[in-house]
Amino acid sequence: MEKFTTLTGVAAPLPMINVDTDMIIPKQFLKTIKRTGLGKNLFDEMRYTTDGKEVADFVLNQTAWRGAKILVAGANFGCGSSREHAPWAIADFGIRCIIAPSFADIFFNNCFKNGILPIVLPQAEVDKLMDDARRGANATVTVDLDKQEIRGPDGGCIRFDVDPFRKHCLLNGLDDIGLTLQKADKIAAFEARRQAGQPWL
């Protein structure tokens, strides 16, 4: 998993509440088990018309936000079904951080496991960042995970909380497999002892 340390980029405003996982990546794109290739279908039903043309007024189709790395969203982001394809699509598009007043629990957990930092902030602070995000490419935002700070284009700083273990995993690029591989020597030693003591297994 790619490490998350400091992220600087354009933030895209998505002032919608209850954005569910089917809106993030519709069900027809869930046939793959690959984590790549889903970014083009992120928010598919909002980004494209039924005949495949871009919806001009959707934020990620506008020039200022096509390369957004941060998403500022409304409350209860990622609700609905527990599909892991949702964070896969977000990461594949290039978004590494989502800021919202609240998240659905399963989606929130899946973000950390896929190298995305979800940040929960009070509504007033989300509103301020949403206003910054509306400025587009003229206003970049920096998210510093180590310091747990978000710095806006005007020099303002917002502190955020993050679970220490999840912070450690993101800073070091450790997903569940990476955490397990840290104990590879102990696992190998156990397997060797088991093979010697119980060779019939």
Domain ranges of the chain: 6-174
Q: Along the 201 residues of the chain, how does pLDDT read in single tens digits?
A: 899 999 999 999 999 999 999 999 999 998 888 888 999 999 999 999 999 999 999 999 999 999 999 999 999 999 998 889 999 999 999 999 999 999 999 999 999 999 999 999 999 999 999 999 999 877 799 999 999 999 998 889 999 999 999 999 999 998 766 666 666 677 777 776 878 778 876
Within its chain, how far is the Cα of 123 from the centroid?
A: 19
Cα dist. 96→54, 92, 153 in Å? 23, 9, 18
Residue 179 has a pLDDT of 66
Matching residue, tokens 């497999």:
177
pTM exceeds 0.85 for this model:
yes
Helix/strand/coil (H, E, C) string of 118-150? EEECCHHHHHHHHHHHCCHHHCEEEEECCCCEE
> What is the pLDDT at residue 178?
67
Amino acid (one-letter) located at 59: V
Predicted local confidence at residue 182, as pLDDT: 67
- Our CA angle for 160, 102, 175, nearest 5°, is 70
What pLDDT score does 85 carry? 96
In CATH, what number does 6-174 get? 3.20.19.10
Asked if residues 103 and 120 have their Cβ atoms less than 8 Å apart, the reply is yes
CB atoms within 10 A of CB 114: 19
What pLDDT shows up at residue 197? 79
Token representation of residue 58:
């959707």
